[in-house]
């Protein structure tokens, strides 16, 4: 049995809520490979709770560049 099958997992929406992020932000990180998860089907990712905890321990993410207001 794969290791992922025995680890507690959460959905993208649950991880976003736990981290104070949007589901789209979580999905982007999963697609880029920055955050680890298991793609169950084309519309469903599951993320190990220990990965969510690792991100929580990293602290608040730095904001990206702000658009110019001209």
Transcribe the chain into DSSP letters.
--HHHHS-EEEHHHHHHHHT--HHHHHHHHHHTSS--EEEETTEEEEEHHHHHHHHHH-SPPP-PPPP--
Q: What is the pLDDT of residues 1-58, one digit of tens each?
A: 455 567 899 999 999 999 999 999 999 999 999 999 999 999 999 999 999 999 998 8
pLDDT at 46: 97
Q: Please report, for the chain, the start and end positions of each structural domain, with discontinuous segments joined by +.
A: 7-58
* pLDDT band per the 50, 70, 90 thresholds, residue 68: low
Q: CA-CA distance, 15 to 53, in Å (whole number)?
A: 10
Token duo for residue 27: 């999905």
pTM: 0.75
Q: CA-CA distance, 4 to 65, in Å (whole number)?
A: 35
Terminus-to-terminus CA distance in the chain, angstroms? 56
């Amino acid at each position: 049995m794969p290791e992922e099958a025995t680890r507690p997992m959460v959905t993208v929406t649950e991880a976003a809520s736990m981290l104070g992020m949007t589901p789209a932000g979580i999905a982007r990180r999963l697609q880029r490979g920055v955050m680890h998860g298991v793609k169950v089907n084309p519309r469903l990712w599951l993320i190990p709770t220990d990965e969510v905890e690792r991100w929580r321990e990293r602290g608040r993410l730095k904001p990206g560049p702000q658009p110019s207001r001209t």
